[in-house]
Copies of this chain bind each other. A is one copy, B any other.
């Protein structure tokens, strides 16, 4: 099954909130929020804002953490942690 994903970055939270609302309005039951590094707190804010202000029945179905390998210019490698929050309307 194709899953709706919203990648959260550094833009204002409401952009991502709106993106999620659009997806839910199109009939999606689940949306995966994903963010890396410093955007992680933004991602959590988005999930909580959706629950608090828009969908009181929203459930945080799963949270997973991990790290991606990011290549900086040249040979340097760095690990960047990411979070994935699966939110569900059911």
Chain A residues packing against B (C-beta within 8 Å): 37-41, 44-45, 47-48, 52, 60, 63, 65-67, 79, 81, 83, 85
Contact = CB atoms under 8 A, between A and B. Distances in A.
A90 to B, nearest CB: 19
A60 B38 CA distance: 21
A43 to B, nearest CB: 9
A38 B39 CA distance: 9
Given A39-B41, A65-B85, 8 more contacts: A38-B38, A38-B41, A44-B83, A47-B65, A48-B66, A52-B67, A63-B63, A63-B65
A35 B85 CA distance: 17
Contact of A48 (B39, B60, B81): B81
